[in-house]
Structure 1
Amino acid sequence: MKKAFNIVAVLAITAVLFTGCGKANDNTPASGNGNAADTAKTTSAEGTAEPAEPSGTKEASGEASENAAVTPLQVEETVYPYTYTDGEGREITIEKQPLKVAINYLPHWETLILLGVMPVGTTSAEHYIKTWDALQGYDLSSVTDLGDADINLELLAGLEPDIILQQSYNKESVENLEKIAPVVVFGPQVKMDWRYSLREIGKVVGKAQKAEEVIAEVDQKLADARGKLQEKYTGKTVMLMSLMGEDKYYCAYRPDLYDSKTGLGLNVPEGFPTSEQYEQVSMEALAEMNPDYLFVNVFDGDEAYLEELNNNNSVWKSLKAVKDGHVYRLDGSGHAASAISTVYTVDTIIDKLLGEK
């Protein structure tokens, strides 16, 4: 598939990180992508997130017109020693800026890459990073694969990380990891909202300002395409769905795609879910929504199901998007709400609908 991720400034974070330029571990759909335009934070010495001073401009929050520049928020950089209050309310003291970061949740890899930090080790490197379209083009020679379902503690200890980033709290797991290095456990908003993820992880690794620059870069991309899409596709509906097995179709309201002020401003069909959490929908519901354009996330191993729909499902073949040849395939990374995966989805939609990225 044609590589979609092409934000020049983000790709130029550091030449060391780049050579150029599956399905989830369980059957539970990942959370949808949230909008963090109103969650900008500054970093306090105690690690407490405080609301940023209002800028008074739309540009700073990403609500830019097609021709307006999106200006990054200016925030204080982390000063070490630094005490960060994690998603479990635990106060984690970080003595110095962590240079060797290990992660026990793959989407944090995406966040760190955009911040210019190559993790020394991550779970699911072989399974996802080397196969998902959104994650191609990175030099992983220095990254140790720490396993999929269970992290390999022996390998992790050998890396001597300065800090370990984990997404959910498990007492036994955290206690084992803490024998190796300090552990930061993030809450659900970091999982759902890539902007919030950039900001929170940016604080921990001393890249708070870089986080704002990346957010502004993506918001600029959204703003530049929004007006063009709204003008060209007035009255047309666009839908993103995930195919996750036979007769398993999932949809979620993704603000980066549908919000008219901060996203691409695409029109959703009537009856489309309003929740940012993925919801399973039936084929009959798809027929009732009947979008003009349909983007389908297809996970590894599910290509046969899409082929079956195209060849033998009369309801599917009756959809306007299918009849008009307006169905576009993404791989499983289009389902994720994480940073690089979101940009991949946005870029693919812009490419297919406008012929540009």
Structure 2
Amino acid sequence: MMNRFKWWPAFVGLMLLLVLLSACGRGTNEASGSPGAGAGATASASAGGAEAGGSDSPAASAGASEASAAYPRTVTSVGGDVTIPERPKKVAVLHWGYTDSLLLFDLDSAAFALPFTEKQSLLGTDAYKAYADKIADIRIVGENTEVNLEKLAAYGPDLIIAGNKTNEKVLPQLSQVATTVVIDEAQTDVWSNWQALVTEIGEILGQEQVAADYIAGYRSELAAAKAKLAELQGTVAFLQVRDKTVYLQGSDYLKDYYDGLGLQAPEGDIGKTGAELSLEGLSALDPDYLVLGYFNYRDSTMAAFTDTWKDSTIWKNLKAVKNGHVYGVDGQMVLGYGPIDRRTGVKVISDALSGAAR
């Protein structure tokens, strides 16, 4: 009987060895994060950390994913179609009026030619920072129509976006620096149709959905603001207040406010086209509501030409002044024509005028 069970110790030893090997295998898999809870926890922590940082919000991630899938792509440019081989990581915009349009998109790095000096730039304002802070690297390569080609070359963009008129002087040199797309300013109507410009830049960058989402959000806010002002009666005049002069901004330029908010412009051609305006000219229009867009709003060391009017009897007899319907705003932003400017302006103007509408 004993001989029949001589194999038993060997069998037990073999079974113990198999159990130990199985346990080691499980430990190795779990330590490497494949494929259980350890891997899931690591991925969740990474996603949460990026989202908390702000640069990888769901919208930004969608923009990056959309753009990566969109290349190579061929886009329309003045002088002929241009092929962009892959998603650009460094984009330079040389038309000073395209700054806030570019800020809407998911970008790793961007360079700008600004409307004014860097000190006067809107990049540091709360409205712009919400977008600018998502871009890790921002460079300044020009002011107004002047582009610093040395700074541009040193920046080393993958893609340049320019305007055919505003950047006319430097267009021949740009293609030597990087792939360049030139927007036809008149055809796109960049000065009074920011939605068309944003749509075109979205097409250039392969981020059409980002453009569409921003425009849809704006239109929703515009409709709500218009409803707030439905009871407002009388004419509204917008003045661009500089240090040595004042300009009436016409309804042709401020379509977002006049058509979009349902406001009534001053009568006559001047109410449509706008013009440089004297105090006597303003008195002739005598609007019911007066919005003063100060260009010294954020820098009180600069002068405001309307300050010379305020002790005048003519000023004091204006309907808007007598009725307390004069509103001071940041003229550089509220009277700007870009997407961030106009979205901010709709809120500022509707908030200011809604009290008078009740």
- Give the structure-2-normalised TM-score: 0.69
Q: Distance in 1 between matches of 2:319 and 2:159?
A: 51
Give the counterpart letter for 2:329 in structure 1: L
Give the counterpart letter for 2:172 in structure 1: E
**Aligned partner of residue 328 in structure 2, secondary structure:** strand
Q: Distance in 1 between matches of 2:84 and 2:250?
A: 37
Q: CA deviation at 1:278?
A: 4.5
**TM-aligned CA distance change 1:309 to 1:153, over 3 Å:** same
* Contact preservation (8 Å) 1:77, 1:209: no
Corresponding residue number in structure 1 for 2:257: 257
Q: CA deviation at 1:107?
A: 2.9
**TM-aligned CA distance change 1:171 to 1:105, over 3 Å:** closer
Q: Gaps (5+ residues) in structure 1?
A: 1-11, 19-74
Give the counterpart letter for 1:144 in structure 2: R
**Aligned partner of residue 329 in structure 2, secondary structure:** strand
Q: CA deviation at 1:163?
A: 0.6
Q: Distance in 2 between matches of 1:208 and 1:108?
A: 17
* Contact preservation (8 Å) 2:96, 2:143: no
Query: Equivalent of 2:55, from 16, 24, 34?
Result: 16
Q: CA deviation at 1:78?
A: 8.3
* Contact preservation (8 Å) 1:251, 1:279: yes
* Contact preservation (8 Å) 2:241, 2:304: no
* Contact preservation (8 Å) 2:68, 2:86: no
**TM-aligned CA distance change 1:240 to 1:273, over 3 Å:** same
**Aligned partner of residue 177 in structure 2, secondary structure:** coil
Deviations 1:19-57 (A, max 9, x none): xxxxxxxxxxxxxxxxxxxxxxxxxxxxxxxxxxxxxxx
Q: CA deviation at 1:198?
A: 0.6
* Contact preservation (8 Å) 1:271, 1:289: no
Are 2:278 and 1:279 aligned? no
Give the counterpart letter for 2:294 in structure 1: V
Q: Distance in 1 between matches of 2:203 and 2:322?
A: 49
Are 2:71 and 1:80 aligned? yes
Give the counterpart letter for 1:147 in structure 2: G
Q: Distance in 2 between matches of 1:291 and 1:129?
A: 29
The count of aligned residue pairs is 279
Corresponding residue number in structure 2 for 1:193: 193
> What are the residue-to-residue correspondences of 1:134-213 with 2, within 5 Å?
134-136=127-129, 138-139=132-133, 142-149=137-144, 150-169=146-165, 173-188=170-185, 189-213=189-213
- Give the structure-1-normalised TM-score: 0.69
**Aligned partner of residue 16 in structure 1, secondary structure:** coil
Considering only aligned residues, what root-mean-square deviation do their CA atoms show, in Å?
3.0
Q: Distance in 2 between matches of 1:303 and 1:335?
A: 18
Q: Distance in 1 between matches of 2:193 and 2:304?
A: 31
Q: Distance in 2 between matches of 1:354 and 1:193?
A: 26
* Contact preservation (8 Å) 1:243, 1:302: no
User: Which fold has the larger relative contact order, with Cα–Cα distance below 8 Å and residues 6 or more apart in sequence?
Assistant: 1
Q: CA deviation at 1:16?
A: 2.0
Q: Distance in 2 between matches of 1:186 and 1:17?
A: 29
Q: Distance in 1 between matches of 2:211 and 2:87?
A: 16
Q: CA deviation at 1:284?
A: 2.8
Q: Gaps (5+ residues) in structure 2?
A: 1-50, 58-65
**TM-aligned CA distance change 1:249 to 1:84, over 3 Å:** same
**Aligned partner of residue 216 in structure 1, secondary structure:** helix
Q: Distance in 2 between matches of 1:325 and 1:243?
A: 19
Q: Distance in 1 between matches of 2:69 and 2:278?
A: 48
Structure with the larger helix share: 2
Q: CA deviation at 1:227?
A: 2.1
Corresponding residue number in structure 2 for 1:122: 112
